Amino acid sequence: MIRAAMSKVLSLTAIILSILIGVKYFKIYDTSNILPYNLTMFGALLLIAIQIFSYLRVASFNRGTTFMGKLIKTILAIPGVLYVTNMIYPINIGVDLEIFIALFLFVEGLYGLH
């Protein structure tokens, strides 16, 4: 019961955060006027947290996961991990991760609400 409620809260948070990141990315509205924090960093950390929470939830219910399940969770967390790594140790990625984080958060949020 608590796991399901936490999953829904994380999903709703992911959708709202992805919309705010997308609006900022496409320069429709600058969200720094409302929230003076780095929303993309929060999004990256939330993306990583959702994948870890999902992996732990599946592992506890099904007594383990398949290799493909682990691979999918890892791939979905890569934009968040790269963004956090880039903030700590600047690397030249060559692509703007902000839109990928927004898209992955939106899809994860929709998937988590079903």
How do the domains of the chain map onto residue ranges? 2-112
Report the candidate in 65, 46, 62, 59 with the shortest Cα–Cα distance to residue 6: 46
Q: Where are the alpha helices (DSSP H) in 32-96?
A: 39-62, 67-88
The whole-model pTM stands at: 0.87
CB atoms within 10 A of CB 63: 7
Residue 27, Cβ density class (10 Å: 0-12 exposed, 13-18 middle, ≥19 buried): exposed
The predicted-structure confidence for 26-72, as pLDDT tens digits, reads as follows: 999 887 887 788 899 999 999 999 899 888 877 777 666 778 878 88
